[in-house]
Structure 1
Amino acid sequence: MPVTDDDELREILGLNRVAVVGCSASPGKDAHEIPKYLIEQGYDVVPVNPFADEIFGREVYDSLADVPGEVDIVDVFRPSEEVSGIVDEALARDDDAVIWLQLGIHDDEAVERAEEAGRRVVQDRCMKPTHQRLLA
């Protein structure tokens, strides 16, 4: 069952390195504005987007598999039908990253697979208002 408890959400939001899958280079889009907010709050945001080279002055990676080092949270801004493949990429990594599916994004089967593999998952919830409510 996806994480909904405020104490556990606070703990997750206390993590630092966030790979944003589907990060957008276009100001005004949620997939740009939410990661920008996270950077402003001190998070180490790693953009993942195969169609951009640089976002927020940071190197962009083509896929989650290409991101070097450990990732604490995989923040997903892709359509629900792409979640299964992203979860597979997250599970193939050596880190134990939380999988965070942004508002409107859900895939119950992929969530169940991730949880069975020992991963925590947040589903259909935006990081920015959650952060503002619990930590700001």
Structure 2
Amino acid sequence: MPVTDDAGLRELLSADTVAVVGCSTTPGKPAHDVPRYLREHGYEVVPVNPYADEVFGVPAADGLADVDREVALVNVFRPSEEVPGIVDDVLARRERVGDAWGLWLQLGIEAGDALARAETAGLRATQDRCLKVEHGRLID
């Protein structure tokens, strides 16, 4: 069951390092502005975008397997149909590295079966919510 209650969302928001899958280099896009907001509020943001060399002056990883630092939360800005593959990547990372305990699918992104699979594997997860909006509502 996806996290929907405020206590569960606060737990996800307690992450300090967030890998942003689909992080954009284009200001004005939510996939750029939300990670920028996170950085401004003390989060370490790890951009994951195979088409970018860097975002916010931080080297961008091609995929989750290429992230060279510990990650607590994976924030997804990719279409819903890509989520099952992203969950595969998160679970492979958990098995290999032992991190990534949370998964956040941004507003408009839903993948019930993939999310259920992630939760069965021990991840705390939510979908169809804006991380920036929930942070502003619950933390800021």
Gaps of 5+ in 2: none
Counterpart residue number, 2:114: 110
Gaps of 5+ in 1: none
Counterpart residue number, 2:17: 17
Alignment check: 8 A CA contact 2:19 2:74 kept: yes
Q: 1:37-74 deviations in whole A, cap 9, x for unaligned?
A: 00000000000000000110101000011101321100
Shift in Å, 1:30: 0.3
**TM-score, normalization by structure 2:** 0.95
Q: Which moved more, 1:22-31 or 1:2-11?
A: 2-11
Shift in Å, 1:15: 1.3
Counterpart residue number, 1:5: 5
Counterpart residue number, 1:37: 37
Q: Could you tell me how far apart the structure 1 residues matched to 2:130 and 2:113 are?
A: 20
Aligned to 1:91, the other structure's residue is in SS state: helix
Shift in Å, 1:7: 1.2
**TM-score, normalization by structure 1:** 0.97
- 1:47-58 matches, cutoff 5 A: 47-58=47-58
Alignment check: 8 A CA contact 2:101 2:122 kept: no
Shift in Å, 1:90: 0.3
Letter in 2 for 1:120: R
Q: 1:134 aligns with which of 119, 133, 138?
A: 138
Q: Percent identity?
A: 62
Q: Could you tell me how far apart the structure 2 residues matched to 1:96 and 1:127 are?
A: 16
- 1:82-121 matches, cutoff 5 A: 82-93=82-93, 94-121=98-125
Matched residue pairs, number? 136
Q: Could you tell me how far apart the structure 1 residues matched to 2:11 and 2:91 are?
A: 21
